[in-house]
Amino acid sequence: MIGLAVLQYVASKVDGLEVDTNCFYEDLPIDYDTGQMMRYGVFVTTEPAPMTRTSDDTQYLTFYVAIGEGAEDADGNTIAEKYETDRILQAIQKTVKDSDSDWQALSELSVNGIEEKYSDVRLELTASKQRGVTLTNGAIVKSIVVKVIYK
Amino acid sequence: MSTNDFTGMRKVTIKDTATGGTGEFVVMNPDKVGADGFTIALEANEVTESSMAGDRVSPNGTNTSAATLSLIPRSIDDLAAIWPQGYDATTGTWQPTLGKCVLSDVTLAYEKVCDSKGNVILRHAEISLAFELALARDDSFTAEVMVYPSWSLGSEYGLAGDLASDMIPYQVYDGVYDASTDLIDFDTVGS
């Protein structure tokens, strides 16, 4: 569940993101009858990262951002979906970049409500933003991959 | 869960002890320590015996060589913090100067920030201000700082018994270095 722990950390740093409201872990809320996204936001999925027997635990996490119709800012004003997608990705990127200065918070991460703790968490960017698929409603999915090293 | 005590995010504390242990100190936090970190190697001191059968080389001790410490200074203030001798407060400039303008007789602690395991300390070390100034349009400036270990008595590293009178160049420890007292609070052994 390191992915969820990191998602909670990142969501706490980005304006407008809230886990379970618009941030989802290993879950793409798709209506399988229509193929439509039922909710928009940030979706984190787990990818394999190179590891050795003696290395710290290492994991790639892909943050997919999909903002569809009806995106609103904090004041309820309609905003351009592409702009909002990019803003969120940029904020995630900044959070990862700045994480070296936030080692107090990252020295121990846990998932709310779960006892398991992850210590000495280090976040690294592996690549910049990538354009993904276009959803049936025209929303564009973009993603960014983050490397997580932890004990 | 831990697989290796030596991995993890690091900070570097440099304390100028030349003024009798009350000197200035600077802490370079993890965002200013390069990913390639700190490299220190002891070389073998070798003797060669020549005989009819040929040369036989064997080690008879250890020999220190310069260690490298990878730092990422982000401003002139950072350079001034590492090498106060090169800093001019009036103009706010930093410049290397000729001669033995080194930060001499410093304590240098390379410590984890998330736990107290697998740390390294050098006492009476010297830090040269010779490094490559490489500025690029799209890459950060990393200073490969040269650190010269000195052989010091084990007692200065807080050791008693036989090791107290041995000369050692650095110490690997579990514990926390306190720059204000220049002492290490060692972890309880076995914890």
The CATH number of whichever domain residue A109 belongs to comes to 3.30.70
pTM of the model: 0.87
Per-window interface: A 92-121 vs B, CB < 8 A = 100-101, 103, 106-108, 118-120
Q: pLDDT, tens digit, for every residue of A57-94?
A: 999 999 999 887 777 776 778 878 888 899 999 999 99
pLDDT value at A99 more than 80: yes
- Better-predicted residue by pLDDT, A30 or A119: A119
Q: Which pLDDT does position A133 carry in this prediction?
A: 84
Is A55 near chain B, with CB under 8 Å? yes
Distance CA A52, CA A36 (A): 40
Q: Which pLDDT does position A21 carry in this prediction?
A: 84
Unique residue bearing structure tokens 């904090």 = A74
Structural domain boundaries enclosing A96: 2-150
What domains can be seen in chain B, in order of their start residue? 10-75+102-186 (2.30.110)
Is A122 near chain B, with CB under 8 Å? yes
Distance CA B32, CA B73 (A): 6
> CA-nearest residue of chain B to A119?
B114
- What residues of B are in contact with residue A120 (Cβ under 8 Å)? 7-9, 112, 114-115
Q: Which pLDDT does position A78 carry in this prediction?
A: 81
> CA-nearest residue of chain A to B114?
A107
Token output for B41: 């190697």
Q: Which residues of chain B register pLDDT less than 70?
A: 1-2, 18-22, 99-102, 191
Q: What's the total number of domains in chain A?
A: 1
Give chain B's largest Cα–Cα span. Answer: 68
Is A1 near chain B, with CB under 8 Å? no
Q: Which pLDDT does position A108 carry in this prediction?
A: 92
Q: Which pLDDT does position A83 carry in this prediction?
A: 87
- What residues of A are in contact with residue B4 (Cβ under 8 Å)? 54-56
Strands (E), B81-159: 87-88, 93-94, 103-112, 119-127, 143-148, 152-153
Q: pLDDT, tens digit, for every residue of A5-45?
A: 999 999 999 988 888 888 989 877 777 777 677 777 899 99
